[in-house]
């Protein structure tokens, strides 16, 4: 199924690439959330093709706690920079990943 610019993909199980994004952004997420996370494991994600790629990632942070990250990765000609755009805390395993 082709990606449509502007729309989000269906949720997919997290893979190694998405976990690497989480690894790179964990300290930024902890700063934004005002707490540290003992566990930081990507579970699922959606993508959105824009002038680069938005990643919406459900992350297990310990116990029954999850957060949702929104990360942006710029296009190769722009250096493929990765940045944490925003996050949502107090999420549960069953919470669907929504655009935010």
pLDDT (tens digit per residue) in 21-72: 999 999 999 999 999 999 999 999 999 988 899 999 999 999 999 999 999 9
The CATH class given to the 12-91 domain equals: alpha beta
Which H/E stretch holds residue 19?
helix 16-33
pTM for this prediction = 0.84
Provide the residue ranges of all domains of the chain, joining segments of one domain with +.
12-91
Q: Are 40 and 59 in contact (CB under 8 A)?
A: yes
């Amino acid at each position: 199924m082709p990606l449509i610019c502007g729309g989000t993909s269906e949720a997919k199980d997290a893979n190694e690439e998405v976990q690497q994004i989480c690894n790179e952004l964990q300290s930024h997420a902890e700063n934004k959330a005002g707490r540290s996370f003992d566990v930081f494991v990507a579970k699922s994600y959606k993508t959105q093709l824009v002038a680069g790629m938005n990643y919406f990632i459900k992350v297990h942070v310990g116990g029954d706690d999850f957060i949702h990250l929104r990360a942006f990765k710029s296009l190769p000609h722009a250096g493929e920079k990765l940045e944490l755009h925003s996050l949502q805390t107090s999420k549960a395993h069953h919470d669907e990943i929504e655009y935010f």
